[in-house]
A and B are shown apart, each in its own frame.
Chain A
Amino acid sequence: MIASVLFWISALVAVVAGALVFKVDSMARATYALALSFIAVGVAVLTMRQDFVGIIVILMMVMEMAIMAVFMISYMGMNPALMPMDMTHAKRPAAAIATIVFVGLGAAVLLIPWPVIDPQPVEGLTEQLGEAMMGSKMLVMLTVSPVLFATIVASVVLASPRGRYDRYGDRLRGPAHDPEPGGLGR
């Protein structure tokens, strides 16, 4: 009963906050509306007794949105909070496509005869997940970790304007010429 009420509150918050992301005219508020949507979904997952996934969604997404807000603000180059403006295109086709998708998927959800079982919380689910990731589903872990590592390298390569020649000069010697020295004096 309590879980049900909690779920509906969080579902409502998730959808409303999700809609607000594209409604508010402040970048900071848009980002944190998305964070709120993720927190609500995390709580909804918790009401379905998946502790680890629910908490991890909240952890990851709050962190991600804190970073995203910084990018939002630095790249917009202006403050829409002071200067309301419209940064959208193709609004009507977008709305049409979104509505069609909603109706289509919604109809599928309602029409499919789901083989529903009586939900029961699973004891020690987090441990099972860990065992699976490090045991029978090891391949997933083996794939995800190099992908994540490649992502770090790729994003730094894409984003960094300066390579080692910019830092150390043509002969790669001597102290680095950095606009801001790092903490280790390298």
Chain B
Amino acid sequence: MTLQLVLLVAVALFSIGLYGAISQQVVVMVMMGIELMVNAVILAAAALWWFLTPVVDIQVLLMVVIAAMTVEMAVGFGVATLIHRARRSDMTDDATELQQ
């Protein structure tokens, strides 16, 4: 259990999350990919605190990360609800107005 190995685990989690966020069509599944990426960030930040510098700043950062995750989820569900009401589906391919 060294810093590099822990960070490698975090990188693996991050990559899986990234794959999911890009490849999934359903909004909620995309959110799950993003959550997995944030999960990796939590692990990495905790490892940096433990192996590099035990200052409380990183703990505060972790709190911000967790708060950011809740914001992401709440707004994501709001948007998913809106899209679902308008389109009867929640696929990202149906919500491309901003692309045009």
Contacts and interface: CB of A to CB of B under 8 A. Distances in A.
Please tell me whether chains A and B touch each other in their complex, using a CB distance cut-off of 8 A: yes
Interface residues on chain A, size class = 35 or more
A99 to B, nearest CB: 7
Interface string A167-181: 000000000000000
A52 B46 CA distance: 11
Given A148-B67, A148-B71, A68 B32 contact: yes
| Among B50, B84, B89, B93: residue with most chain A CB under 10 A | B50
Contacts of A148: 67, 70-71
A22 B71 contact: no
B17 to A, nearest CB: 7
Given A21-B36, A132-B60, A109 B8 contact: yes
Interface of A: 3-4, 7-8, 11, 14-15, 18-19, 21-22, 30-31, 34, 37-38, 41, 44-45, 47-50, 52-54, 56-57, 60-61, 64, 67-68, 71-72, 75-77, 87-91, 93-95, 97-99, 101-102, 105-106, 109-110, 114-117, 119-120, 122, 125, 128-129, 131-133, 137, 140, 144, 147-148, 151-152, 154-159, 161
Given A50-B50, A95-B23, A156-B78, 7 more contacts: A18-B13, A52-B59, A71-B28, A76-B90, A105-B15, A119-B50, A152-B74
29 contacts: A3-B1, A15-B13, A21-B33, A30-B29, A34-B35, A44-B46, A45-B42, A47-B1, A48-B46, A67-B73, A68-B28, A75-B26, A75-B89, A88-B24, A93-B22, A94-B23, A97-B22, A98-B16, A98-B22, A102-B11, A102-B15, A119-B51, A119-B54, A128-B56, A129-B56, A129-B63, A132-B56, A157-B78, A158-B75
